[in-house]
A and B are shown apart, each in its own frame.
Chain A
Amino acid sequence: GQNIDQPTEMTATEGAIVQINCTYQTSGFNGLFWYQQHAGEAPTFLSYNVLDGLEEKGRFSSFLSRSKGYSYLLLKELQMKDSASYLCAVRDRGSNYQLIWGAGTKLIIKP
């Protein structure tokens, strides 16, 4: 079956670094996306991984290991505005290339 797991909630301190993990089980992996969603707003695209390794984009980086079914989103120099939910989603050939979503990780940033 298909399954995406993420921690429900994490807390971090302003200025610090936090890593949000995502593990997945799909029948035909075809890419992994991270989205950010502030409360009451639209999810917005953060990153995309389809090959193993690290993709860096400013303060945010995303890592993928296809053999382990594992990804993480790394946020550096945390700012209060980074308080949001972070959603991991996997494209799956077994689901007509539609996105399979994790339940999201609520990140709370404290001063």
Chain B
Amino acid sequence: EAGVTQFPSHSVIEKGQTVTLRCDPISGHDNLYWYRRVMGKEIKFLLHFVKESKQDESGMPNNRFLAERTGGTYSTLKVQPAELEDSGVYFCASSQEPAEASYPYNEQFFGPGTRLTVL
């Protein structure tokens, strides 16, 4: 079974440009998460989809970030316009169980990440 895949693996853009990251979760996983790791710091939660709905987007840093999951399959994360501080590794993860109280254990399967560098 294929794992979580992300595209591209690396992206180098200039400040002010737009970048779109893609995540394909494990087939059948309704729950999809986006995370970001800035160099030397901890992974931070961005948002959580359940199927095509945004369950929790409390971690999105500002309105320059737009995530979509049309059809409840793959997801995209667009950064427009990109700023220097957006540089980092963007991880996507998927799980069968949701991040809810009634599911104390939800193992998340991660993709390899997209390394974004904004110059």
**A99 contacts B45, C-beta separation under 8 Å:** yes
Q: For this complex, into which size category does the number of interface residues on chain A fall?
A: 20 to 34
Binds A, one of B63-71, B78-86, B98-106: B98-106
B108 at the interface (CB under 8 A from A): yes
| CA–CA, A42 and B90, complex, Å | 11
**Known contacts A40-B112, A42-B112, A96-B56; A87/B101 CB under 8 A:** no
**B42 contacts A30, C-beta separation under 8 Å:** no
Q: How many B residues have CB within 8 A of the partner chain? A: 27
Name A's interface SS.
strand
B107 at the interface (CB under 8 A from A): yes
Contact with B along A28-46 (1 / 0, CB 8 A): 0011010100001111110
| CA–CA, A33 and B35, complex, Å | 16
Q: For B8, list chain A residues within 8 Å (CB).
A: none
Q: For A87, list chain B residues within 8 Å (CB).
A: 43
